[in-house]
Amino acid sequence: MERFCDGDQTAFEALFTRHAGGVQGFLTRMVHDAPLAEDLLQTTFLSVVRSRGRYTRGTRFTPWLMTIAANAARDALRRRQHREAFSRQASAEPVSSEPPAVGDPGMRKHLEVALAQLSEDQREAILLHKLEGWSFEEIATLRGISVSAARVRAHRGYEKLRHLLDGVGDF
């Protein structure tokens, strides 16, 4: 990243090649929409280009990048919620509060459905901690919260997952 900040365009290509897959996977799990995740990946790296002057030299690049990606995902989810709320108000049809039916009997599908039922904060804490390998200290720094608050978010998310997945597979 420091080379890119110094004007080396090939350094940006290397950053994109190295990190795009992980960022896209994270975004897909956050927004549950592959095409939207692809758009957010582009938005994330465009933000990297635009904000390279704010990058603090000597700091780890991945947490900085994932902060940008997480913020992009949260913004997209908020926009989606606003559009859905507007659509519900515009239509006279009652909206079902039932979760979508699970069409795939596989454990992965059950887990994806359960993750989608968590709050954004809980889902983010679990994905960053379990799938991305982040420490609670890193999650706390990302969100601007205490380490104990990051742990509580993850713990509550795990408890809800246990409840939602009770009787499914080995959970």
What pTM value is reported for the model?
A: 0.58
Statement to judge: residues 44 and 108 lie in one domain: no
Split the chain (171 residues) into runs of 10 and give each run's mean pLDDT.
Answer: 93 96 93 92 95 91 93 87 64 43 60 86 88 83 88 91 76 47
Tell me the HSE value of 56 on the side-chain side, using a 13 A CA sphere.
4
Q: Name the token pair of 24.
A: 């896209």
Count up the domains in the chain and report the number: 2
Q: Which H or E run includes 63? A: helix 61-90
Which of these three, 46, 68, 95, is where a domain ends? 95
pLDDT of residue 42: 95
CA distance 72 to 42: 10
Largest CA distance in the chain: 56
Statement to judge: residues 91 and 123 lie in one domain: no
Range of the domain at 4: 1-95
pLDDT of residue 18: 96
